[in-house]
Amino acid sequence: MMNEMQAGLTPEKLQLFLAGLSGLDAEEVRKAKLLFIRNELSQLKAIKTQIAGIGVAQGCFAIIPIFWPVLWIQRNSMNAAVNLQKEQIQNALSVWQNDLGEDGRQMARELQSL
């Protein structure tokens, strides 16, 4: 599951996406970019939901002090994965801000609320 959380918006994933845009007109490229970012936001929401579920299980283990270091490491790792995903989405929004216009600004606000 941690690999899923760390997958994120990798340069490879972004390059494959951009390669698929060749030959499309400007409006189709814009729509594809919007959909791509929306999907990444959905993935981030799903990751945060998974983390919340894991947090419940961690709470059960937290009553036993010997698990505290492991739980701390897990929590930091999960938070790092979320922060990485947020930064990658923000980077894509920044690069594509002129293409995405107001829709991009709306998605940036949504990202900030997560």
pLDDT in tens, 85-106: 999 999 999 999 999 999 999 9
pLDDT in tens, 22-48: 888 989 999 999 999 999 999 999 999
Position 62 pLDDT exceeds 80: yes
DSSP 31-81: HHHHHHHHHHHHHHHHHHHHHHHHHHHHHHHTTSGGGHHHHHHHHHHHHHH
How far apart (Å, rounded) are the C-alpha atoms in residues 92 and 110?
A: 14
How far apart (Å, rounded) are the C-alpha atoms in residues 46 and 51?
A: 9
Position 15 pLDDT exceeds 80: yes
Catalogue all structural domains in the chain, each as residue range(s) with its CATH number. 26-113 (1.20.58)
pLDDT reported for residue 7: 62
